[in-house]
Amino acid sequence: MITAVDTNVLLDVFAADAQFGEGSAASMRRCSSEGRLVACEIVWAELASVFPTGDDAVEALGRLELDFSPIEVTTAFRAGVAWRAYREARGRRERLVADFLVGAHAAEQADRLLTRDRGFYRRYFAPLEIVDPSRPSTTGVFAAGSGARRRRSRG
């Protein structure tokens, strides 16, 4: 099982967020015990800003056993198609193309996404499975749809 991890979950853990930190850390441990944790370059770049140096960021992410998983060409195109649908639906400018790259990466190159931002990803990346660490009363797993999805690479 490959779990892509969103920036908000990692920020919860690194900042020891009072509201979400414990749940995010527990969800990461559970997902790690079930397989591999990955994040694309967008997530790594967003996290780099909270560390004094790039080496510090790489070391911290390594301690979490979070693998770097670059976005493939087909994944980038899927993100672009979803971004276009969002803009055509008059989506507010609160969403950046980076959000769509993270979602497409999880949908195409992983089995699920660990994020607190489930509504957005469920809408644009069905049938992506979402694990929401802010839902402690349940398993935190939300299936955005059903059926098989195509994944070219998991390496």
99-145 pLDDT, tens digit per residue, is 999 999 999 999 999 999 877 898 889 899 999 998 754 445 544 43
Tell whether 155 is covered by a domain: no
Which of 87, 111, 143 minimizes the C-alpha distance to 31? 111
For residue 151, being part of any structural domain is answered with: no
User: What pLDDT band is residue 153 in, cutting at 50, 70 and 90?
Assistant: very low
pLDDT in tens, 36-64: 999 999 999 999 889 999 899 999 999 99
Mean pLDDT score across all residues of the chain: 86
Nearest to 43 by CA among 9, 15, 6: 6
Assigned domain for 152 exists: no
Q: How far apart are CA 153 and CA 24, in angstroms?
A: 26
DSSP bridge pairs for 3 = 37, 112
Tokens of 145: 């749809």
CATH number, position 37: 3.40.50.1010
What is the distance between the alpha carbons of residues 4 and 92, in angstroms, rounded to a whole number? 25
- How do beta strands 112-114 and 66-68 pair? unpaired
Q: Which pLDDT belongs to residue 145?
A: 39
